[in-house]
Structure 1
Amino acid sequence: MMKKKIDKQAVRTWARNAKKVCKQLILPFSVFQAIRTIIFPTTFDVLLLAIFILIYLGFQYEWF
């Protein structure tokens, strides 16, 4: 059987597009999660909000 070659440029383009989508969606998700955490404060909601905030800060300070 022949191995299928992976186009590295296509993978880079896909990863770049995925990063852009995440960057656009993380702030609305964080705001929604903050409102949800204020109304229904559970351990899972607080941890999820902390993860969203860390991801947002990562994008702002270009850690990723």
Structure 2
Amino acid sequence: MARFYRYRLPPWARNCIFICEKATLPILIFQLIRTLFFPTTLDVLLLGIFVGLFIAFHLEWI
């Protein structure tokens, strides 16, 4: 099976990935602040998902 390369995608899909990559950090910070003030199960779950997404984008797994 071939490795996934984000730069071989069509331009519209690559642009969507770049936009999601840039928007992940502000959403992560907002969710962290929200979780610190109003810790619910859903907030902790969303924070874990956003942390995982941020790490995946940072290490270029996506």
Same fold (TM over 0.5): yes
Alignment of 1:1-64 (within 5 A): 12-64=10-62
**Percent identity over paired residues:** 48
CA offsets per residue over residues 10-52 of structure 1, 9 Å max, x none? x711110000100110000000000000000000000000000
Q: What code does the residue aligned with 1:58 have?
A: A
Q: CA RMSD in A?
A: 1.0
Aligned length: 54
Which structure has the larger Rg over C-alpha atoms?
1
* Rounded Cα–Cα distance in structure 2 between residues aligned with 1:53 and 1:12: 27
List structure 1 segments (4+ residues) > 2 angstroms apart after TM superposition.
Answer: none
TM-score by length of 2: 0.83
TM-score by length of 1: 0.81
